[in-house]
Amino acid sequence: MALINENFLKLKAGYLFPEIARRVKAFTEANPEAAKRLIRCGIGDVTEALPEAVRYAMHEAVDEMGNRGTFKGYGPEQGYDFLRKAIAENDFQARGINVDADEIFISDGSKCDTGNILDIFGKGNKIAITDPVYPVYVDTNVMIGNTGDADENGAYAGLHYLKCGPENGFVPAIPNERVDLVYLCYPNNPTGATATRAQLEAWVQYALKNDTIILYDAAYEAFIQDDSIPRSIFEIEGARDCAIEFRSFSKNGGFTGMRCAFVVIPKGLMGKTASGEKQAIHPLWSRRHSTKFNGASYIIQKGAEALYTAEGKSQVKALIEHYMGNAKLLVQACKDAGLAVYGGVNAPYVWVKTPSGLTSWQMFDKMLNEANVVITPGSGFGSAGEGYFRISAFNSRANVEEVCTRIKALTK
Ligand code: MLT
């Protein structure tokens, strides 16, 4: 019999969102009438239609594929130049950030990228993650063998947990010890918190001093409303020598079902071999892409490029305004209900303290059974998330207004 990767056996029962889906399915089967009024604010999945500019661009791309003269087979694994250039110019250079097109690697999603990045790092790295955290960072480290077993709180031996809570604004304090890799995500999933320029400067200083690489997940940067908050780690001086950035079209362009994202790796970013020789990270990721990935589809990349046209930009702006309008309503409803609420101001996630000492899963069950609203239990993001729940602002306005009414009724 073939040996299996036993690291998978260390994983907790199920990935958070499939586990929620399983519970919701059981509820809908047992309560078909109540299920009709179910509103899903669990997984952060977009609900509004794709921007028109994207649809037109993809229609044209489909027609190109239908013509022998313009048909495309395999594309460049790292992404088409037209998209890499559009990203470099619009997301970075136009904002005075030094990122070149060939430092951008197009992919089919940030979930894959933040997991796959571990392929190019060695064993024995000290790895820090925030708690609460996007579970993919943890689970992929478990799968690849970078951790020991989980304790009764679900914390894995070998990972350095950086506690985040209201006391530090959900941005971790700089650790006293050195680590090799640290995952930071701002605007944050799940807490909706943002990191200030000064906080990111402190992290970059720490990383430079300790030869740490920051894995910076900026999938939610488009939701930032406050211009003083950095949208990219590369706005911070020195970050090109210590950071990799992950970006996604999922939430700004409505691409969760389309799949397109990118990673930025500065060419000068270095790691080292076991014998201590410096090695650039960029060619390793490029090599990985060439071997394990055949590129995102041409049609999807044409759609993503259209997000950078004048029409595309204004359609994205409208989407962001819609979801952030939802977030504002949800924050206010939670406040009106007397709940302690965080996030939802520069991020599409609202992070709420459970009332009356309920655990996160008790609150999940209460919301499901009594309000028929699906939320995400905070403990699914780590032990520091216990006692919280997350409401996603990705929904129609009518649904969000209804959720607000039900939250207020539930906590009366
Ligand atoms: C979430 O709800 O946390 C996100 O949708 C997950 C993801 O983007 O993979």
- Which of 16, 17, 217 gets mutated to test ligand 1 (max ligand atoms within 8 A of its CB)? 17
Question: Has residue 12 got a pLDDT over 80?
Answer: no
Tell me: the pLDDT tens digits for 20-65?
888 999 999 999 999 999 999 999 999 999 999 999 999 999 999 9
Bridge partners, residue 138, by sequence: none
Average pLDDT score over residue span 186-199: 98
Q: How far is the CA of 69 from the centre of ligand 1 (A)?
A: 39
Amino acid at position 80, single letter: Y
Q: How far is CA 54 from the centre of its chain?
A: 22
Is 146 within 8 Å of 118 (Cβ atoms)?
yes
Tell me: the pLDDT tens digits for 360-404?
999 999 999 999 999 999 999 999 999 999 999 999 999 999 999
pLDDT, position 290: 95
Question: Has residue 153 got a pLDDT over 90?
Answer: no
Protein residue with its CA nearest to atom 9 in ligand 1: 111
pLDDT, position 15: 63
How many of the other CB atoms lie within 10 Å of CB of 37?
A: 11
pLDDT, position 201: 98
Question: Has residue 90 got a pLDDT over 90?
Answer: yes
CA 376 to ligand 1: nearest atom: 2
The dihedral built from the CA positions of residue 254, 46, 216 and 121, taken in this order, carries a sign that is: negative
Q: How far is the CA of 264 from the centre of ligand 1 (A)?
A: 20
Residue 189 Cβ contacting ligand 1 at under 6 Å: yes
Distance CA 364, CA 360 (A): 6
Tell me: the pLDDT tens digits for 276-318?
999 999 999 999 999 999 999 999 999 999 999 999 999 999 9
Distance CA 333, CA 258 (A): 32
pLDDT, position 89: 98
pLDDT, position 61: 98
Residue 21 Cβ contacting ligand 1 at under 6 Å: no
The whole-chain average pLDDT of the chain stands at: 96
Tell me: the pLDDT tens digits for 100-123?
999 999 999 999 999 999 999 999
Average pLDDT score over residue span 236-246: 98
CA 190 to ligand 1: nearest atom: 3
| Strand ranges inside 238-358, DSSP E | 243-248, 261-264, 270-272, 278-280, 341-343, 349-353
Question: Has residue 240 got a pLDDT over 90?
Answer: yes
Q: How far is the CA of 107 from the centre of ligand 1 (A)?
A: 16
Tell me: the pLDDT tens digits for 344-357?
999 999 999 999 88
Question: Has residue 411 got a pLDDT over 80?
Answer: no
Name the pLDDT band for 154 (thresholds 50, 70, 90): confident
Length of the chain: 412
Helices (H), 211-268: none
Amino acid at position 228, single letter: S
